Chains A and B, each alone.
Chain A
């Protein structure tokens, strides 16, 4: 099955710890995105990438980092600098850009211990 796989489904972070969320797609899409969703709110863009080895900050990039070493993978690291990391994180992809149909993964719920 083609799609986007996010792991883990649930993740817990201790104070001062960095954690990495995985996102893998087998859709052969060039563009990949990370969104954050807080309860009762819409999605906010953290980072996006349109091509391997290149990525841009979204609206709320502070405290996060990404890499795009392979076309199919776009991991997100939540660093200790992100003081309010508890949220639902969604990875998405599209063929080339944001003006196209977006495909989403099933999400990772991050909580602070």
Chain B
């Protein structure tokens, strides 16, 4: 059974810092991995999707990497801004499984 873990559960950093969020999964036979952002009381917004054959994806100040063999993914946020404050969730899909398995999320606070 696939399990996804995100550590830490919460992170607070000053504005302008570069930071890394972590995601680990137990079964390396994944189809892809997605990173989402969730603002309080809102739905999720897809940030990046990495296929199993890819090592990383970039969008603006965000860079997500994937290491299937070690069961890990990281989301790198460059030059953090207060508007980046949100909960970030990762989710993996497995071949043949019509569902995503989500981590519990990391609540990020960027202090001005």
Contacts and interface: CB of A to CB of B under 8 A. Distances in A.
Instruction: Indicate the size class of the contact surface on chain A.
Output: 20 to 34
Contacts of B93: 98-99
Interface SS of B by simple majority: strand
A42 interface: yes
B98 A43 contact: no
Interface residues of B, number: 25
Interface in B38-58: 41-46, 49
A78 interface: no
Interface of A: 4, 6, 31, 33, 40-45, 48, 50, 56, 58-59, 88, 90, 92, 97-107, 109
Interface of B: 4, 9, 31-32, 34, 36, 41-46, 49, 89, 91, 93, 97-105
